[in-house]
Amino acid sequence: MSQNIVVLPGDGVGPEVTEAAIQVLIAVAEKFDFSLTFESHDFGGAAIDACGEPLPDETLSACKAADAIFLGAVGGPKWGVHTKRPEAGLLGLRSALNLFANLRPVKLHPALAAHSPLKEERVKGVDILIVRELTGGLYFGEKKREADKASDLCEYSKFEIIRAARVAFEAARRRRGHVTSIDKANVLETSRLWRETVTALHEKDYGDVELRHELVDSAAMKLITNPGSYDVVLTENLFGDILSDECSVLAGSIGLLGSASLGAGTQGLYEPIHGSAPDIAGKNIANPLGAIASVAMLLRHSLGEEDAAKTIEKAIYTMLDEGMRSRDLGGDLMCDQMADAVIGWL
Ligand code: NAD
Ligand code: IPM
Ligand code: MN
């Protein structure tokens, strides 16, 4: 039986990095002898241009029916920040599919330690999993706009906090057994509920996992000064968005990081954490490794193909070991050549 993957290339470098990663998926499927079908759909700015909506009904129906969804990136200066903006399509999709937990692994490849803007001894051994709550908080609260006044409501329910926290505790059990929950409980009511709820869940079900709470401002500093002290980071939607871009420099480049957005079942949405990178779009110079790492996560979480996922991760590891680098990592390999190098090491 063939598994159905909906591909949403999106905007900017999105089409380049998704094409590169799909070549890797095709090669790995051949190697492990499983069958995949790919269906591409309009999404984001490209969909606004085609039919006036960032998330057309037909795209949403295809995503609902898919085994997994693979997205490049959306947005760009062409579409600005108006109501019908590409980013609204992405939020609509996360919400419609109830993808409440976003996993963003940040792992430093030893060969890239010298490439980090931080001192080598600080970043050595960095291996963090960010679990970002993805369908609540400021992103989805009521929005109001008057001529010279605006507001975004930040709301969280216990239910939303518990389901995201469970993902973090379960992941910690499979890793080094430590969760840092990041909030702003000294100021925000939602953060006080967050802290109380995570603490209660920890006491009830996860006593074997170590839990620490940190305030987001000092955590933003500690993630840079002492990144080795983090295993799983659990946080709410906006903090997770900001901290994950910050953490990408620990790994060497934002172009390296993949992500999985998961709900209650096996279906998921997989995307690199970077955006459409309008400054380098259309030049075949984007780093596709974040997209390729995302398809490895897709194989693992949605298709149950753990061996194929590991094989891709090992190939990424080996090609970096061999010194193959895209421009963001100080090399000269083009986007498609990076994918070819991964395929060569599969
Ligand atoms: P960005 O992540 O697109 O780019 C930030 C910087 O990182 C740029 O200098 C860019 O060239 C570089 N970069 C990003 N991806 C790279 C890659 N694969 N290889 C090499 N360098 C890479 O962030 P931005 O410029 O703030 O946002 C641009 C647009 O993307 C905005 O419209 C934003 O809303 C959107 N965005 C979309 C997503 C998504 O689709 N998931 C995520 C973030 C931002
Ligand atoms: C991300 C992006 C999105 C977010 C935007 C494009 C809506 O920055 O996936 O990190 O803020 O979640
Ligand atoms: Mn972001």
The whole domain housing 169 covers: 117-251
User: What is the 241 CA–ligand 2 centroid distance (Å)?
Assistant: 7
Q: Measured between alpha carbons, how far is 171 from 234 in angstroms, rounded to an integer?
A: 10
User: What is the SS3 assignment for 188-225?
Assistant: CHHHHHHHHHHHHHHHHHCCCCEEEEEEHHHHHHHHHH
Find tokens 């579409």 and name the residue: 79
Amino acid 84: pLDDT = 85
243: closest CA among 131, 163, 92?
A: 131
Nearest residue (CA) to ligand 1, atom 36: 275
Do 12 and 92 fall within a single domain? yes
> Measured in angstroms, how far is the CA atom of residue 177 from the centroid of ligand 2?
28
Question: What's the gap in Å between 75 CA and the centre of ligand 1?
Answer: 9
CA 286 / ligand 1 centre spacing (Å): 10
Residue 67 located in a structural domain: yes
Domain-located, residue 257: no
In a domain, 178, yes or no: yes
Q: What does the pLDDT look like over 181-191, one tens digit per residue?
A: 999 999 999 99
Query: Which of 223, 251, 279 is the last residue in one of the domains?
Result: 251
Same domain, 215 and 312: no
Other Cβ atoms closer than 10 A to 132:
28
Per DSSP, what are the bridge partners of residue 268?
262
* 109 located within any domain: no
- Domain end (from 210, 225, 251): 251
Domain for residue 285, yes or no? yes
Please indicate, yes or no, whether residues 149 and 231 belong to a single structural domain of this protein.
Answer: yes
Residues acting as catalytic residues: 139, 184, 217, 241, 245
On whether both 142 and 195 belong to a single domain, the answer is yes
79 and 162 share one domain: no
131 and 219 part of one domain: yes
pTM comes to 0.97
Q: Is 13 in the pocket of ligand 1 (CB under 6 A)?
A: yes
Query: How many domains would you assign to the chain?
Result: 2
Asked if residue 276 has its Cβ within 6 Å of ligand 1, the reply is yes
Same domain, 12 and 71: yes
Q: What is the structure's pLDDT at 116?
A: 83
Same domain, 244 and 305: no
Q: Is residue 107 part of a domain?
A: no
- Specify if 105 maps to a domain: no
Instruction: Give the whole-angstrom CA distance, residue 42 versus residue 50.
Output: 8
pLDDT at 115: 80
User: Phi and psi of 3, rounded to 5°?
Assistant: -95, 140
**Which atom number of ligand 1 is nearest to the Cα of residue 290?**
18
Which atom of ligand 1 is found nearest the CA of 286? 19
Residue nearest to atom 8 of ligand 1 (CA): 277
Among the listed residues 152, 154, 151, the one whose alpha carbon sits nearest the alpha carbon of residue 136: 154
Helix (H, G, I), strand (E, B) or coil at 260: strand
In a domain? residue 258: no
Return the DSSP state at 322.
T
Chosen domain end from 251, 274, 289 = 251
C-alpha–C-alpha distance, residues 9 and 45, integer Å: 10
Cβ–Cβ under 8 Å, residues 122 and 285 = no
d(CA 162, CA 142): 22
CATH assignment at residue 178: 3.40.718.10
Q: Do residues 92 and 146 share a domain?
A: no
Nearest alpha carbon to residue 248 among 218, 211, 215, 293? 293
39 CB contacts (<8 Å, ≥6 apart)? 4, 5, 6, 7, 62, 66
Distance between CA atoms of residues 211 and 55, nearest Å: 38
Whether 157 and 245 map to the same domain: the answer is yes
Pair 132, 239 in one domain: yes
pLDDT one digit per residue (tens) for the chain, 346 residues: 899 999 999 999 999 999 999 999 999 999 999 999 999 999 999 999 999 999 999 999 999 999 999 999 999 999 976 668 999 999 999 999 999 999 999 999 999 998 888 889 899 999 999 999 999 999 999 999 999 999 999 999 999 999 999 999 999 999 999 999 999 999 999 999 999 999 999 999 999 999 999 999 999 999 999 999 999 999 999 999 999 999 998 999 999 999 999 999 999 999 999 999 999 999 999 999 999 999 999 999 999 999 999 999 999 999 999 999 999 999 999 999 999 999 999 9
Residue 137 Cβ contacting ligand 1 at under 6 Å: no
pLDDT digits (tens, 9 = 90+) for 215-249: 999 999 999 999 999 999 999 999 999 999 999 98
What string of DSSP letters covers 82-145?
Answer: SSS-HHHHHHHHHHHTT--EEEEEEE--GGGGGGSSS-HHHHTT-EEEEEEE-SSGGGTS-EEE
> 234 and 130, same structural domain?
yes
139-160 burial, b at 16+ Cβ within 10 Å, e below that, comes to: bbeeeeeeeeeeeeebebeeeb
Q: What's residue 82's pLDDT? A: 67
- Is the beta carbon of 273 within 6 A of some atom in ligand 2? yes
If we measure between CA atoms, which residue out of 171, 325, 329 comes closest to residue 254?
329
Q: Which two tokens stand for residue 158?
A: 């216990």
9 lines ligand 1 (CB under 6 A): no
| Distance from C-alpha of 234 to C-alpha of 101, rounded to nearest angstrom | 10
